[in-house]
Amino acid sequence: MVSRLREAVTTNPGPDGWTHLAAVGSAIRKHPAIVLKTYGYRQLKDMMVTIDLFELRRDGRGRSGAVYARIR
Exposure pattern of 45-63 as b/e (b: 16+ CB <10 Å)? Answer: bebbeeeeebeeeeeeeee
Domains of the chain: 2-71 (3.30.420.610)
The DSSP bridge partners found for residue 19 are 69
Does this model's pTM top 0.85? My answer is: no
Tens digit of each residue's pLDDT, the chain (72 residues): 788 889 999 998 989 999 999 999 888 888 776 677 778 888 888 889 998 899 999 887 667 778 999 999
DSSP string, 9-36: HHHS--TTS-EEHHHHHHHHHTSTT--G
